[in-house]
């Protein structure tokens, strides 16, 4: 995520969060929003279902939770929609092209279809995201103060901030 403050934690550590909403900062009252990611690896790009799953619950009020989940749903829907459109409608039209050109042209159409979604994502990034590696996890916060609090709560377990 661009312009985020990242807290890096060991993967096995259960992350402690301040008791307030990741979106708006009000007391979260035991509400949360769940994020799940696969380990980023070379085969994950080819086969995204492989790689171990990492799940984390981040404090969140009901209003922000529905906003974050809704935005995520729209993004996934756009991703699937663009994939299906390119695979079943655009690709058959590319038959006339020379074979080495088909995939790059298909990919270009795919990115053009996704551009509005990526643009909205850039303008209104989610308040939280994560990047999972084999040994540790980057927690990416839009709010630098929130990130600093998470760092303070988890520095005893080897968390770092940047």
Contact positions with Zn ion (CB under 5 A) in 55-84: 61, 64
Report in angstroms how near the CB of residue 43 gets to Zn ion at its nearest. Answer: 37
CB half-sphere exposure, 125, CA atoms < 13 A: 14
The binder of Zn ion chosen from 1, 7, 15, 21 (CB under 5 A): 21
- Which residue's CB is nearer to Zn ion, number 24 or number 77? 24
**CB distance 6 to 41 below 8 Å:** no
155: DSSP letter: G
Residue ranges of E strands in the chain: 5-10, 32-38, 53-59, 128-132, 136-141, 160-161
Give the binding range for Zn ion (CB under 5 A) out of 1-9, 15-23, 72-80, 106-114: 15-23
Contact positions with Zn ion (CB under 5 A) in 24-43: 24
Which spans of this chain sit near Zn ion (rule: CB under 5 A)? Answer: 21, 23-24, 61, 64
């Amino acid at each position: 995520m661009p312009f985020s403050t990242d807290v890096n934690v060991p993967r096995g550590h259960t992350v402690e969060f301040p008791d307030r909403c990741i979106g708006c900062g009000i007391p979260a009252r035991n509400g949360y929003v769940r994020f799940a990611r696969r380990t980023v690896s070379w085969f994950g790009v080819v086969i995204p279902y492989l790689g171990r799953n990492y799940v984390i619950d981040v404090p969140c009020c009901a209003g922000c939770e529905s906003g974050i989940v809704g935005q995520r749903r729209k993004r996934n829907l756009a991703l699937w929609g663009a994939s299906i459109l390119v695979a079943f409608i655009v690709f058959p039209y590319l038959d006339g092209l020379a074979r080495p050109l088909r995939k790059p042209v298909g990919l270009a159409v795919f990115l053009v279809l996704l551009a509005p979604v990526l643009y909205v994502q850039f303008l209104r990034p989610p308040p939280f995201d994560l990047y999972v590696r084999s040994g540790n996890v980057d927690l990416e916060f839009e709010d630098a103060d929130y990130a600093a609090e998470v760092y303070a709560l988890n520095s005893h377990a080897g968390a770092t901030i940047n």
